[in-house]
Structure 1
Amino acid sequence: MARPKSLQHEFRRDEILDIAAQCFAERSYPAASMNDIAASCGTSKARLYHYYDSKEAILFDLLDRYTQRLLALIGQAEATAQRRSLDERAALHELIRTFLDEYEHSATRHIALLHDTKFLGEAQRELILDRQRDVVSAVTRFLTRAYPHRLDARNQTALTMMLFGMINWTFTWLRPGGAMSYPAFAEEVIALLERGLAPAA
C-alpha cells in the first residue's frame, strides 16, 4: 500500500505552486522552465521532480486547485446569502466582493487560468474549461436572480461576460496599495451594476 503524503509534502507543493505561478506570470508558461522554477524555489531540478514530474503537471495542479477554489467561493457566497437572509441583489454584491478579495491575493493564478489553460493536454484542458463554464453559469444565475427585469435568454451571456470583463482583468492595472483598493473597486462595480441594471426610479 502506498504511503500517505505528509502534511509537509503538501505544504511544499503549495509553495512550489505559488512560485511556479509567479514564474509563469513573469516569463510566460512556454518560456519558464523546470530549471527556472527550481532555482526560484531554492532547490534542484531533481528535487523538484520529487513533487512534480513535469511543468505541465505543475500547471494542471495549479489550475485544478484554483478552479476548485473559485467554485468553493461561489458555494460559500450562496451559503452566506442564505444564512444572512440576503436578497438576490445583495447576494450578487457579496459574490462580487468575494471574487475581488480572492483576485487581490491570487493574481498570478488568475493570469495562468486566463492565458495558460491552452497548454494542457486535451483531457486536463477540458476539465479546467468545464470548471470555468460552471463558474460562468453560476454567476449568470446570480445575475439573473438579482436583475430579472434585465436578463433573459437573449442577453444573459453578454451581461455575464460584461461583469467578468470588469473584474477579471484587474491584475493588469489594479495594484495593491495603489490609489484604489480591491474592496473599493468592488463597491464601484456594484454601484455601476445598480445604476446600469436596476430599474429606473
Structure 2
Amino acid sequence: MARPKSASHDLKREEILDVAAQCFARQSFPAASMNDIATACGTSKARLYHYYESKEAILFDLLDRYTQRLLALIGEAEAHAQRQNLSEREALHALVRAFLAEYESSATRHVALVSDTKFLGDTQRELILNRQRDVVAAFTRFIKRAYPGRVTPANQTALTMMLFGMINWTFTWLRPGGPMSYAAFADEVVAVLEQGLGG
C-alpha cells in the first residue's frame, strides 16, 4: 500500500519549484543540476528525489502549473468583467493588469516558460505549447472585442503579439522595487492601447 502524501507535500513542491525556477533563470536549465537545486533548497539530493525523479520532471511540473495559472487568470478576468459589467476595453485592461501582477511574482517561472519549454519531451512540450496557444487565442479574443474596428483577420496576430511584446519580456528589465512598479507599467501599457504614444 502506498504511503499517503503529507498535507504539506504540495507546499513543499511549490517551494522546490520556486527555487528550481531561480536556478534555471540564473544558470540556465542545461547547466543547473539536481545537486544545485537541492543545495539551493537547503536539502539533500536524496530528499529532492523524494519529490521529483529528475530535473526534467521539475521543469514540466513548473511549466504545467504556471500555464494552468495563466489560463486560470483569463477565466478569472472574464468572470470579473461579467460581475463588474465592464466594457470590452475595460475587460482587456483588467486582463493586462492581472497578467502583469502575476509576472511580478512569477518572473523566474516566466523565464522558464519562454526559454526552457524546448527541453521537455515531445508530449509534455506539446501540452505546454498548446496552453500557450490558448493564452494567445484568449488575448486575441479580448483585443478583437475591445477594438472591433481596428482588428482584422490580417492584423489580429500582429496586434496580439505586439501586446505580448510589451508585457512578456518585463522579466528582462522590470524589477520589483525599481523606479517603476508593475502596476505603473500596466497603466502605461493601457495608455498606449488607448491613446498610442502620442496621446
Query: Is TM more than 0.5 here?
Result: yes
- Aligned-pair distance for 1:3? 4.2
Residue identity in the other structure for 2:191: A
Q: Name the residue aligned to 1:90.
A: 90
Residue identity in the other structure for 1:65: R
User: Do residues 176 (structure 1) and 176 (structure 2) align?
Assistant: yes
Q: Name the residue aligned to 2:148.
A: 148
User: Do residues 194 (structure 1) and 190 (structure 2) align?
Assistant: no
Gaps in structure 2 of 5+ consecutive residues:
none
Distance 2:131 2:2 in 1: 30
Q: Name the residue aligned to 2:67.
A: 67
Distance 1:4 1:186 in 2: 44
Residue identity in the other structure for 1:129: L
> Mapping of 1:1-201 within 5 angstroms?
2-196=2-196
Q: 3-state DSSP class of the match of 2:40?
A: helix
- Aligned-pair distance for 1:6? 2.1
Distance 1:41 1:2 in 2: 26
Q: 3-state DSSP class of the match of 2:153?
A: coil
Q: 3-state DSSP class of the match of 1:116?
A: helix
Q: 3-state DSSP class of the match of 1:177?
A: coil
Q: 3-state DSSP class of the match of 1:29?
A: coil
Distance 1:110 1:139 in 2: 17
Distance 1:4 1:91 in 2: 43
- Aligned-pair distance for 1:81? 0.2
Over 6 Å off, 4+ runs: none
What per-residue deviation string (whole Å, max 9, x for no partner) do you get for residues 6-40 of structure 1? 22111111110010000000000000000000001
Residue identity in the other structure for 1:151: V
Residue identity in the other structure for 2:102: E
Distance 2:5 2:64 in 1: 18
Distance 1:12 1:177 in 2: 27
Distance 2:176 2:39 in 1: 27
Distance 1:4 1:196 in 2: 56
Q: TM-score, normalised to structure 2's length?
A: 0.97
Distance 2:76 2:65 in 1: 16
Task: Let me know the Cα RMSD of the aligned residues.
Answer: 1.3
Q: TM-score, normalised to structure 1's length?
A: 0.96
Fraction of identical pairs, as percent: 77
Distance 1:138 1:176 in 2: 27
Residue identity in the other structure for 2:45: K
Gaps in structure 1 of 5+ consecutive residues:
none
